[in-house]
């Protein structure tokens, strides 16, 4: 019960931090929508073309927008010593990685999820595809958060090159984008593709606490 309370109040802490830095979340969303407008203006007024490539645009922009927030994933808690203090409060480094991943999903990815219907209207994506987009993004974004956790924890050991982490996320997110866009364009294969996406999520979710936890421990050791 005591441990459960600690988890609840860890999220209370994350909530307070994210609310106080809500401008960061809003900046991400604004970046996402401005990029959509830029795509629309650069493609031209042809509704059919926009509709055809709309899902691909949404996914590419979601990926780019979520990588913007990766720098903050562990950096602040690492620099002010809170990572160590949280660890001393009974959380293993692997468990901290899991908690932080869900926190990133809740406070960074969910706002994108909620703004998807507006993006669909702007890009002329059919209403019946919205459900598929929600399903694919729900699974895909949690996978991206896991990848983000791994790359951000690796970045703590390599403070000079932040872009390296983003590159790693982008390379590993290629299969997620392929299957996520596939779900929407090949509706008859929905179950098989969603199972593949879910499989990728489970693999990355299993690797995340080990890889991130080890990177967090090493970065604190070498700090």
Partner 1 sequence: MLIVKDLSVERLNKKIFENISLSLTPGNITILKGKNGAGKTTLLKAILNIIEPSFGSIYWKGKLLKKNLYDFYNNVTYIPDTTSSLKKLTIKDNVNIWKRFFISNINNAQIEKALKTLKLDNYLNKKVGTLSFGETKKLEFLRLIIENKNVWILDEPLSNLDEDSIELVKQTFEDHCAKEGSIIFSSHQNPGIYVTEEMQL
Residues in contact with partner 1 by CB under 8 A are 2, 5-6, 9-10, 12-13, 16-17, 20-21, 79-82, 84-85, 87-90, 217, 220-221
Picking from 214, 220, 209, the residue whose alpha carbon sits closest to that of residue 94 is 209
Buried b or exposed e, range 38-64, using 16+ CB within 10 angstroms: ebbeeeeeeeeebeeebbbbbbbbbbe
Instruction: Dump the DSSP string for 96-110.
Output: HHHHHHHHHIIIIIH
Residue 75, helix vs strand vs coil: helix
- Please check whether residue 216 is in contact with residue 97, taking contact to mean a CB–CB distance below 8 angstroms: yes
Phi-psi category of residue 219: left, alpha or beta, with phi > 0 → left and psi -120 to 50 → alpha: alpha
Instruction: Specify the residue, 3 or 210, whose C-beta has the smaller distance to partner 1.
Output: 3
CA 90 to chain centroid, in Å, comes to 26
Distance of alpha carbon 182 from alpha carbon 186, whole angstroms: 6
Q: At what angle do helices 127-157 and 174-185 cross, to 10 degrees?
A: 180
Residue 223, helix vs strand vs coil: coil
């Amino acid at each position: 019960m005591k441990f459960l309370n600690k988890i609840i109040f860890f999220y209370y802490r994350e909530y307070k931090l994210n609310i106080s830095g809500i401008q960061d979340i809003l900046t991400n969303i604004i970046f996402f929508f401005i990029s959509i407008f830029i795509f629309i203006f650069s493609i031209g007024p042809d509704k059919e073309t926009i509709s055809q490539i709309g899902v691909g645009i949404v996914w590419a922009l979601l990926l780019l927008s979520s990588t913007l927030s990766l720098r903050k994933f562990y950096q602040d808690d690492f620099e002010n010593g809170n990572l160590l203090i949280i660890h001393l409060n009974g959380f293993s480094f692997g468990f901290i990685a899991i908690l932080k991943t869900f926190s990133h999903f809740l406070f960074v990815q969910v706002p994108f999820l909620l703004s998807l219907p507006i993006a669909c209207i702007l890009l002329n994506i059919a209403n019946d595809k919205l459900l598929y987009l929600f399903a694919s993004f729900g699974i895909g974004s949690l996978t991206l958060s896991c990848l983000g956790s791994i790359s951000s924890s690796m970045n703590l050991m390599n403070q000079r090159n932040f872009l390296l982490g983003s590159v790693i996320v982008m390379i590993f997110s290629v299969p997620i984008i392929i299957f996520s866009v596939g779900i929407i364009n090949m509706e008859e294969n929905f179950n098989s593709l969603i199972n593949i996406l879910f499989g990728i999520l489970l693999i990355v979710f299993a690797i995340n606490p080990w890889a991130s936890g080890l990177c967090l421990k090493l970065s604190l050791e070498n700090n």
